[in-house]
Amino acid sequence: MIKIIGKKVIDLIAYQQGILFVLKELTPDGQYKVSFYSFDAKSQSIATVTKNAYLMTKFGPSFAKITSSLDDYISCEAQRLKDGRVCIVYPGGEIGIFADDGELLHAERLQYNGNAVRSLAYDGTYLWFAVPDANAVVRYHCDKYRIDMRLGNTVNTSFATPFCVFATKDSLFVCSKTSKCVLSVSLQDFSVTPYQAFEEPVLQYLQINQDCFVVLPSGIYLLQ
């Protein structure tokens, strides 16, 4: 693994050449500011980016209208759907689905058996959410606005405290905070296999092109 930065990030998203990440930094006069950075996987270089570049990447062309309705645009996760809609989720389970023009279409506090969802992934057809307190992940129908499948439960600890999810069209990757690993779920037969283990809790995993990134308490890493 290559350590990219050993600081706590408050958001991390994918972009075409690598990742964008957000840090809360202390200025020389003792004030805190939010700073935005990119990491280019090919050159393995870090550069500053503008707030608007970050927002455009995260929320799409209608970022101004979407973020105008949000109290906090950093702590939520966002996924842009293939029809132009944007879905967001906050760690407490509050979700919103926006039209491609930024108009809010649907909002709810999404739970499974009374447990709030967090994190979201999009496989090209469905959204997936982690449910840490239920040791489960759930599939969400983007048009019917409802959960239609659950994997895992409080008895089966295959997904021990799933903290974050990431999807491709074929696989769902689940970050287990308790088991300190990433699990791979086949979206064809829903079989679960170990993908990669770590020595720390796994907070986030994502892939961009052929590159894989993981967020641990000690920092952001590029996997080799």
pLDDT of residue 158: 76
pLDDT of residue 222: 95
pLDDT of residue 160: 84
| In the chain, domain spans | 2-223
SS3 string, 180-217, reads: CEEEEEECCCCCEEEEEECCCCCCEEEEECCEEEEEEC
pLDDT of residue 98: 98
Chain centroid offset of residue 204 CA: 7
Q: Within 13 Å of residue 137, how many CA atoms lie on the same side as its CB?
A: 30
pLDDT of residue 159: 82
pLDDT of residue 78: 97
CATH topology of domain 2-223: Neuraminidase (2.120.10)
User: Which tokens hold the place of 151?
Assistant: 């994997």
Alpha helix stretches (DSSP H) within 17-126: 51-59, 63-68
- Exposure pattern of 134-171 as b/e (b: 16+ CB <10 Å)? bbbbbbbebeeeebeeebbeeeeebbbbbbbbbbeeeb
pLDDT of residue 152: 87
Q: Residue 68 has what DSSP assignment?
A: H
What is the block-wise mean pLDDT of the chain (224 residues), using blocks of 10 residues? Answer: 92 95 90 94 95 97 96 96 97 96 97 95 96 95 94 78 93 93 95 94 93 95 91
